[in-house]
Amino acid sequence: MSQTHHVVVEVNGVKREADVEPRLLLVHFLRENLGLTGTHIGCDTTNCGACTVLLDGKAVKSCTVLTVQADGRKVTTIEGLGGDGKLDRVQEGFVAKHGLQCGFCTPGMVISAYALLQEKPHPTEEEIKTAISGNICRCTGYESIIESVKYAAKAGRRRKSPGRPSGRRS
Amino acid sequence: MKIVSVGFVDEEQDPDVRFVRGAGRYVDDIKLEGMQHLYVVRSPYARARVLSVSGGITGNELKATMESVGEDAGGRSTVSFPVLSASYVSYVGQPVAAVLGGDKYEAADKADEVDVQYEPLKPVMDPERSLESEPIHPGTESNLVAAAELGRDFDLKAPVEVEETLRMERIAPNPMETKGMVASYDGSVLTVYASTQSPFSWREGLAGSLGLKEESVRVVQMDTGGGFGSKGGIYPEYVVAAYAAMKTKRPVKWTESRYENLLATNMGRGVRGRMKVYADRKGKLKGLKADLLVDVGAYPLGGGAWTAKWIASQLVGPYAVPKAYAAAKAVLTNKVNMGPYRGAGRPEAAFFMERMMDRIADETGIDAAEVRLRNATTRETTSPLGMEAPPSKRFFTEALRAFRYSSRKKKDKVGLSFFMLIPAAYGGESAKLAVEGGRVKVWMGGSSHGQRHDVFAKKLVSEELGVPQDVIDFQHTDTGAISGGVGSWGSRTAILGGGALVEASRNLKAAAKKNLGKKYSPALLLEGDYEAEAFFKPKDMLNTLGANLATARLTKEGNAVVEEVLSFYDAGKVLNRFMLESQVTGGVAQGIGEVMYEHAVYSEDGQLLTASIADAGVIHATEMPKSVVMTAAHRSTLPHGAKGVGESPTIGVPPAATRALEVLLGRRFTTLPIEPEKLWAHDLPGRERTR
């Protein structure tokens, strides 16, 4: 093994430390080192978005971030949404409107939608489409995903909450 | 038999809830004690002699060939497809060796230990020139794989004669989860956790290639991230990974990158149709001639043996034509194998025929819908090419009404398609039920890779047994749990698996009644221990009809796009409308991708130029037209009344959308994908930009 680097990454509100190779991708660190297998790998060219996570609150594709680049930063994965066994409203939207089929792109889609609603709680349909255009779904034709995001936005309005998750996310 | 659960998937939880929580369990999520990762070393050449290969597992050690199974099955080929080639390679990406490492990075590093010496040869890339080229497989006489003639040749003079050469180019299936598996061997049983459409095909193929008895192979389906035909059969990598697990007595995981998936997964389409139709001035068909050429790639195991004939047999579609003759050939090229992709031969036949119906409309000046209606049938027919079809006139009249065709045509640039869906009913399907501990476990011989078959399965079993749905646990297919099965493809699972579920439920109820006598009740059933299986084979023809209407418009930038797709399909009794709409809209997206962008492009020396998922042309949310899904519920003769629907959109959308774009731009399109550079309106002087 080549030289390792010590990293401290806050993942879903918990500080995780490890000695990692500089080449280790964040997505592999999450999946292999931490066992957070909800973040998926669908391509190798940063096109599909199945690996999308939040890095310091911003949606990023974790296949294009080195673990060492995440040192000292905060990562939220799909497992970090919601809390206390409850689903986040975005996750609820995807269940209510069946915004998925095979489920493989779903965690990345949910994270991208979550990031959108953080920034724009009441997006237009075009804004939703643009926000998820970095995530590929081969199953649904996207309509049900767009409906899921609309549902989540409406749920946010009903609750009059700014939409931050109640869980451990910092 | 008590089934030992392998326990990766929490079957009691709603799949949607698992998936949104990131709690899906796919192959790559499995971690077993001592597990190693397999990395496959692949040919960088489309055609080459292998002068030497050393390091890792090679074909000198693993002298196995692929057995043709699953949806691919179509008779043994004279050309053997080596698991690892030690003599010559026939496509870029063909496996030549494999190495193991503790993790993915280490395994990839180990690839440096493999040394392969090649002598590159000139590859055969153009199917049109395949037959005049040197045979790609040494010891064979030509690159011809199959030739079929259907119907009887004829001479005819007709007032309207139209000829056209049409193409549907090769495309990559691109499920979001690439292929993969984990193999584990305990000294007697090889257990394989699979991303698959058919555990039973895997069992047969792995046992066949490795010389094992089927009883000593158990294949368990994991959550499977899409397949679209590409995960029905087996691939060389699966055999190598299973072999490596048996050799090292340690679990072995193999998952591929997207790049590998694109290089080395069976691709769909790749068919040329030279069509000639004869009609009278009223648009009535008098004759049809076709000359088909199918590019089956390097090894004819992806359906190469049967695809040419299969497409030819469907060409007449839902119409009546007195005379028809089709000649079809399948030829080899130095590309990865052709295989089933959602529709698998049905879209090709429909595209070729529907384009010709539009040509007749253009030649005669008769409305495109009217031309189709004039050739529709009022009773069940068998075409001169041998295909049975249900009467189509009434259905198409219903479809035009549902589309509000007349008013849409006045307002929009529209394209229309009528077609027939032939579900893959052959072989039937199995189902099993087991009552234990107050719950009912349900299996089918082939199950979901995204279709949520659990929804209709629970509904049917609940209705038959009278037990609530929440005591029913739907299981992924496991060859250790159910005695036989086929697989999930070809619009078959809701009809055949559904039929098997109804029969298995009735068998279960009969077993319980035998035990309980007159006291029988659903509550008492749940208190007992019962098991029942059924293997369902339908007796009647299940071919069904569909229609699509597409509209096209120009964007403000001057690009032609498909704006809306209306689908009207005879799905029989709809088992779950929500899931049906989801399936259809997803298929519409694939149909639009095929029309606009999707194309596997190879260079002259055989390199795949579209080697990323972006280049492959899969559509994004911003490119999706509006989808409206409607059904005609004409029950089938099956116990639950269902008909197939899964492939309908990839059959019906391409011809309808192509026509809409053609009408909008006033340009004839004969090849899919049309490709964006041909969809600009800039060179149409005088055309007003919309918006």
B340-360: b (≥16 Cβ within 10 Å) or e: bbbbbbbbbbbbbbbbbbbbb
Interface of A with B in 28-47 (CB under 8 A): 28, 31-32, 35-45, 47
Residue B680 confidence (pLDDT): 85
Mean pLDDT, residues B195-223: 96
The reply to whether residue B104 touches residue A28, judged by beta carbons under 8 angstroms, is yes
Q: Any idea which residue has 């994965």 for tokens?
A: A77
- pLDDT over 80 at B15, yes or no: yes
* Closest to B226 in 3D by CA, of B172, B171, B176: B176
Residue A153 confidence (pLDDT): 97
Cα separation, B516 vs B534, in Å, equals 21
Domains of chain B: 15-121+176-226+231-264 (3.90.1170.50), 271-424+541-678 (3.30.365.10), 429-536 (3.30.365.10)
For domain A5-80, which architecture applies?
Answer: Roll (3.10)
The reply to whether residue A136 touches residue B178, judged by beta carbons under 8 angstroms, is no
| Per-residue pLDDT reduced to its tens digit, B140-192 | 999 999 999 999 999 999 999 999 999 999 999 999 999 999 999 999 999 99
Reported confidence tier of residue B301, pLDDT bands at 50, 70, 90: confident
Q: Note whether A21 contacts B: Cβ–Cβ < 8 A.
A: yes
Q: Which residues of A touch B10 (CB under 8 A)?
A: none
Q: What is the ipTM of this complex?
A: 0.95
The reply to whether residue B175 touches residue A138, judged by beta carbons under 8 angstroms, is yes
Q: Decide: B487 and B70 in contact? Cβ < 8 Å.
A: yes
Q: Which residues neighbour A134 within 8 Å (Cβ) at sequence distance 6 or greater?
A: A47, A49, A52, A61, A112
Reported confidence tier of residue B370, pLDDT bands at 50, 70, 90: very high
The reply to whether residue B176 touches residue A136, judged by beta carbons under 8 angstroms, is yes
CB < 8 Å & 24+ apart, contacts of B240-243: B240/B38, B240/B40, B240/B57, B240/B62, B240/B83, B240/B84, B240/B95, B240/B98, B241/B38, B241/B98, B241/B181, B241/B183, B242/B181, B242/B183, B242/B185, B242/B190, B242/B192, B242/B206, B242/B210, B243/B57, B243/B62, B243/B64, B243/B83, B243/B210
Six token digits for residue B124: 């055969």
Residue A164 confidence (pLDDT): 44
**Percent of all residues in chain B with a pLDDT value above 70, rounded to a whole number:** 95
How close is the nearest chain A Cα to the Cα of B498, in Å?
Answer: 19
Reported confidence tier of residue B12, pLDDT bands at 50, 70, 90: low
Q: For every one of its 170 residues, what pLDDT tens digit does chain A have, with 9 covering 90 and above?
A: 569 999 999 999 999 999 999 999 999 999 999 999 999 999 999 999 999 999 999 999 999 999 999 999 999 999 999 988 899 999 999 999 999 999 999 999 999 999 999 999 999 999 999 999 999 999 999 999 999 999 999 998 766 444 444 433 33
| Per-residue pLDDT reduced to its tens digit, B413-440 | 999 999 999 999 989 999 999 999 999 9
3-state secondary structure of A57: coil
Residue B77 confidence (pLDDT): 60
- pLDDT over 60 at B16, yes or no: yes
Q: Any idea which residue has 């030819």 for tokens?
A: B312
User: Chain A to chain B, count of Cβ pairs less than 8 Å apart?
Assistant: 173
Cα separation, B196 vs B223, in Å, equals 9
Neighbours of A15 (CB within 10 A): 9
Between β-strands B544-554 and B472-474, what pairing exists: parallel, antiparallel or unpaired? unpaired
Cα separation, B228 vs B650, in Å, equals 11
The reply to whether residue A103 touches residue B15, judged by beta carbons under 8 angstroms, is yes
Residue A169 confidence (pLDDT): 35
Q: Which among B11-15, B67-71, B575-579, B677-681 has the top mean pLDDT?
A: B575-579
Cα separation, B657 vs B637, in Å, equals 32
Cα separation, A60 vs A44, in Å, equals 14
| Per-residue pLDDT reduced to its tens digit, B84-122 | 999 999 999 999 999 999 999 999 999 999 999 999 999
Q: Decide: B338 and B270 in contact? Cβ < 8 Å.
A: yes
Cα separation, B640 vs B504, in Å, equals 13
Spell out the domain ranges in chain A. Answer: 5-80, 89-159
- Amino acid at site B649: P
| Per-residue pLDDT reduced to its tens digit, B449-473 | 999 999 999 999 999 999 999 999 9
3-state secondary structure of B595: helix
Cα separation, B258 vs B359, in Å, equals 40
Q: Which residues of A touch B622 (CB under 8 A)?
A: 129-130, 133
Cα separation, B24 vs B248, in Å, equals 29
A83, closest residue in chain B (CA to CA): B21
Q: Decide: A66 and A25 in contact? Cβ < 8 Å.
A: yes
Residue B37 confidence (pLDDT): 98
Cα separation, B212 vs B439, in Å, equals 35
* Closest to B244 in 3D by CA, of B193, B182, B302: B182
pTM to 2 decimals? 0.95
Determine the topology of domain A89-159 in CATH: DNA polymerase; domain 1 (1.10.150)
